[in-house]
A = this chain, B = another copy of it.
Amino acid sequence: MSIPFAQRLNQVETSAIRELFKLLGKPGIISFAGGLPDSAMFDVEGIRAASEQVLQNDSAAALQYGATEGYQPLREQLASFMHSKGVQGLQPEQLIVTTGSQQALDLLGKTLIDPGDKVIVEGPTFLATIQCFRLYGAELISAPIDGDGVQTDRLEQLMAEHRPKLVYLIPTFGNPSGALLSLERRRKVLELAVRYNTVVVEDDPYGDLYFNAPPPPSLLALSHEVPGSRDWLAHCGSLSKVLSPGLRVGWLVAPPELLAKATMCKQFSDAHTSTFAQATAAQYFRAGRMPATLAQVRAVYAERAQAMGDALRQELGDAIEFVQPQGGLFVWARLTGAHGRLADGNELASRAIDQGVAFVPGAPFFCANPDVATLRLSFATADVAKIREGVGRLAQALRG
């Protein structure tokens, strides 16, 4: 006899990427595979000062159980942070703090998805979203993207055809695509949400990581221009990419009824997010350190993105094509097969490991019709010299 597991587990499999990550321990590997920020850029002193301040002035609250909705001073800081990014009239009560934005996705799945419900995602999209929604029984449908993000005409056709329960997008420097949804398409997405009475989830962990110019306003910031759209819009934010993933502080903005249901589900998921981490994050904002931190990570990632783009063009030439990213952590590239070169990302990934460089092949990021010629390369954690060396090794691997 063995334990009879729930049937929902049959919807998901262990990710192919996890297997790849096991190989990353090999000595000397230069990794473009991660999806994480560079720990060398954490503002350790700022976080130390914030946590010490919290334990000195507010330990009883910071170490005690807290409201499921979140630690009120952090909700206030986050509302004000969102305001500084163009979101109008957001009250602290219109967001809840989540245990990373991953939990916001989980709560949306739990709150909204019945087995068999259709969910439209970008092709490609964030793997953990695909799996998270599948665990609730969602049937995923892939909307194609290009350099301007999701193709809204195709998105509309898919919405009309499938009447999905929700549409999930990463409009700004998406993972893995790095794509930036154009302003015009953003307006269109909001109009579609209203026209089809369909919840649109905007996952926005990367929007703060822009390089030369700020991206167009988030769907949330833009929603006041499209009457009724706020009633169908959920927005997930995160401190993981800009401050520290280890705090596990994310947030969810949603219409009141959806937020109330998500809060109820959170009550039974983890009661609340660490008050110690929340209070530390709140104090970090209050101390005014966030703007300088953002400026620094933007500058460092911009330099690395440039270095990676330059090296790829120089070393791989027309064997690869990609849009130079304007923010985020990733170059999303496609092997062209020019000059008879390899055009299979999985095969290249395994050859690359032998050459001492790692990246993630793009195919697993598609919930349907994978493009096997694609690759995701993170420029976040290697410095410029390592980036050049790693791309050199990649070129070597491609030559075979």
Residues of A within 8 A of B (CB): 1-9, 12, 14, 36-37, 39-40, 42, 44, 47-48, 51-52, 55-56, 59-66, 98-100, 102-103, 105-106, 110-114, 117, 128, 131-132, 135-136, 165, 197, 199, 232, 240, 244-248, 255, 257-258, 261, 264-265, 267-277, 279-280
Report yes or no: B62 in contact with A246, Cβ–Cβ below 8 A. Answer: yes
Nearest to A56 among chain B residues (CB) is: B48
**Knowing A60-B39, A64-B36, A270-B106 touch, does A7 contact B114 (C-beta < 8 A)?**
yes
Q: Which residues of B contact A52 (CB under 8 A)?
A: 48, 52
Can you pick out 27 interface pairs between chain A and chain B where the beta carbons lie within 8 Å of each other? A3-B112, A3-B232, A5-B112, A5-B258, A6-B111, A6-B114, A7-B114, A36-B65, A39-B60, A39-B64, A40-B60, A42-B60, A44-B59, A48-B55, A48-B56, A51-B51, A64-B246, A65-B246, A66-B246, A103-B270, A106-B268, A110-B135, A131-B267, A246-B274, A248-B270, A248-B275, A276-B277
Number of copies: 2
Report yes or no: A12 in contact with B264, Cβ–Cβ below 8 A. Answer: yes
Q: A110 to B6, alpha carbons, bound, how many Å?
A: 7
Nearest to A278 among chain B residues (CB) is: B246
Q: A3 to B56, alpha carbons, bound, how many Å?
A: 44
Q: A199 to B1, alpha carbons, bound, how many Å?
A: 12
Q: A325 to B200, alpha carbons, bound, how many Å?
A: 51
Q: Which residues of B contact A6 (CB under 8 A)?
A: 110-114, 117, 136
Q: How far is the CB of A53 from chain B (nearest CB, A)?
A: 11
Q: Which residues of B contact A5 (CB under 8 A)?
A: 111-112, 258, 261
Report yes or no: A63 in contact with B42, Cβ–Cβ below 8 A. Answer: yes
Report yes or no: B63 in contact with A39, Cβ–Cβ below 8 A. Answer: yes
Report yes or no: A244 in contact with B102, Cβ–Cβ below 8 A. Answer: no
Q: A14 to B265, alpha carbons, bound, how many Å?
A: 10
Selected contact of A268 from candidates B132, B264, B265, CB within 8 Å: B132
Selected contact of A264 from candidates B1, B14, B48, B265, CB within 8 Å: B14
Q: Which residues of B contact A8 (CB under 8 A)?
A: 110, 114
Q: How far is the CB of A213 from chain B (nearest CB, A)?
A: 29
Report yes or no: B275 in contact with A246, Cβ–Cβ below 8 A. Answer: yes
Q: A59 to B102, alpha carbons, bound, how many Å?
A: 22
Report yes or no: B60 in contact with A100, Cβ–Cβ below 8 A. Answer: no
Q: A85 to B237, alpha carbons, bound, how many Å?
A: 41
Selected contact of A47 from candidates B55, B60, B277, CB within 8 Å: B55
Q: A73 to B197, alpha carbons, bound, how many Å?
A: 48
**Knowing A52-B48, A111-B6, A244-B276 touch, does A102 contact B271 (C-beta < 8 A)?**
yes
Report yes or no: B65 in contact with A245, Cβ–Cβ below 8 A. Answer: yes
In the complex, which of the residues A1, A65, A247, A270 has the most CB atoms of chain B within 10 Å of its own CB atom?
A270
Report yes or no: B270 in contact with A1, Cβ–Cβ below 8 A. Answer: no
In the complex, which of the residues A60, A64, A280 has the most CB atoms of chain B within 10 Å of its own CB atom?
A64
Report yes or no: B3 in contact with A99, Cβ–Cβ below 8 A. Answer: no
Q: Which residues of B contact A99 (CB under 8 A)?
A: 99, 248, 270, 273-274
Report yes or no: B265 in contact with A135, Cβ–Cβ below 8 A. Answer: yes
**Knowing A60-B40, A64-B244 touch, does A269 contact B103 (C-beta < 8 A)?**
yes
Q: How far is the CB of A23 from chain B (nearest CB, A)?
A: 16
The 6 closest A-B pairs by CB, nearest first: A246-B275, A132-B268, A63-B244, A39-B60, A99-B270, A63-B246
Nearest to A66 among chain B residues (CB) is: B246
Q: A47 to B65, alpha carbons, bound, how many Å?
A: 16
In the complex, which of the residues A1, A255, A274 has the most CB atoms of chain B within 10 Å of its own CB atom?
A274
